[in-house]
A and B are shown apart, each in its own frame.
Chain A
């Protein structure tokens, strides 16, 4: 799977928007961009994924650059419950039978009250 680069950590204030960046300059045309988060002492949790167009769901929005070499996960109003490690992962939709997710180090998001 292609590599992603994320900041090690970010900080936000409660009820403010948060923009979490991810660079993936070697992305291929068949890679989906997935985002997961892991709250303390819990398993990873699916947040959102997309291919080319921006995506919205109840948890977040995903903005994908036109050249697809970067993307941004947007949390519209951060809450204390959003404090977690956020992982940006590329998943090859044509990658054979193993739907493996390759986790990097992710971004540790701290939300201040």
Chain B
């Protein structure tokens, strides 16, 4: 089944403790992206990647890092999480601009 898999689904962590949210897709898509969803603010793009070793900032990249060493994986890294990064995170992939995106099921992160 074609899908985007995120792990973990739920995570509670403490301020400053580095964490990684993994994202993997099995559709050989070149484009991948991370979004966060917050009440009243909707979905906002954090980072995106056009292909292996090609990444760029979205609208809200502060406090996040990404890497794209393999086509299928696009992890989101929080080097020093803070409470304002408490949010629902979604990874997405796509063939290209004129095709539908496939989203993961989400990761609910709480930073205390």
Contact = CB atoms under 8 A, between A and B. Distances in A.
A43 B42 contact: no
Question: Chain A interface secondary structure, helix, strand, loop or mixed?
Answer: loop
Question: Chain B interface secondary structure, helix, strand, loop or mixed?
Answer: strand
Contacts of A100: 33, 45, 48, 58-59
B50 interface: yes
A36 B103 CA distance: 10
B100 A46 contact: yes
A103 B92 CA distance: 14
Contacts of A91: 97-98
Contacts of B56: 97-98
B97 A95 contact: yes
Interface residues of A, number: 22
Contacts of A98: 45, 48, 56, 58
Interface of A: 32, 34, 36, 41-46, 49, 91-93, 95, 97-101, 103-105
Interface of B: 4, 31, 33, 42-45, 48, 50, 56, 58-59, 90, 92, 94, 96-98, 100-106
10 contacts: A34-B100, A42-B106, A44-B90, A44-B101, A46-B101, A46-B102, A93-B98, A97-B56, A98-B45, A101-B92
